[in-house]
Amino acid sequence: MEPQPVGLKVLNIASAVLLAAATYLVFFYAPMEAVMGQVQRIFYFHVANAWVGMLGFLAAAIAGIAYLRMHDLKWDILEQASVEISLVFFIITIVTGSIWAYPAWGTWWTWDPRLTTAAILEMIYIAYLLLRQGIEDSERRARFGAVYTLIGGLSVPITFMSIRLFRTIHPALIGTASAAAQGGFDMNPRMLVTFLFGLLTFSVIFASLLWHRIRLGRMAEKVEQMKLEIMQ
């Protein structure tokens, strides 16, 4: 196995330091929300996970476009890596959202437009990974993945905009001065600092994990090529 690049080692350390700092800000710097109390603190992790989850799905769509233009399997590796990592972040988003929803809404889950579109988004990319497993030829698999993620990527803006397009009880804290939705709240300056720091932290963690997964994907591709050469 190739040694880790210096840049990746720096990202690993930065991820750990930033996560520790973000955790401190969430529990000791950000003030307790007046209505929801301590459970509101999960909001910082909930939104940060959603941010990098959607970011990864969009990155997969861009990688799909790049593959269709250049037919280089490195873009397929990036695409698959982005989807796998984003799926994990998005599952965490749904779980943390449910924990936050119970005291705010009185239920762990409701078929609210934002929750419904988020669940559909998750299933779209789970299906992507399952369907890839049924295609043995690497070139066909890459073409299928590129087209699928390009179409599937349309669900990302739909999920993001769902709380603005439909009647919903999910709070919209970005792009509006109103926190009228049930469970909504206004952020004071210390909350905003914690929120933005969380987005930065999870973006760095995503970049670190993506780099690791790309390296693993490249090694898997080499193994697959060696198997083909032996079979010939």
| Residues 142-186 pLDDT 10s | 999 999 999 998 889 888 887 777 777 676 665 554 444 555 566
Distance CA 230, CA 232 (A): 5
Say what the pLDDT of residue 38 is. 85
Distance CA 208, CA 15 (A): 7
Structure confidence by residue, pLDDT tens digits, 18-45:
999 999 999 999 998 877 788 889 999 9
Distance CA 203, CA 207 (A): 6
Angle at 121 between CA 44 and CA 152, to 5 degrees: 125
The two three-digit tokens of residue 3, written as one number: 């040694």
pLDDT at position 59 over 70: yes
Work out the burial of residue 199: count CB atoms within 10 Å of its CB; fewer than 13 is exposed, 13-18 middle, 19 or more buried.
middle
Say what the pLDDT of residue 185 is. 60
Nearest to 26 by CA among 207, 193, 206: 193
Distance CA 129, CA 114 (A): 23
- The pTM for the full model equals 0.87
CB 64 within 8 A of CB 145: yes
Structure confidence by residue, pLDDT tens digits, 201-223:
999 999 999 999 999 988 877 77
Say what the pLDDT of residue 217 is. 87
The two three-digit tokens of residue 8, written as one number: 């990746």
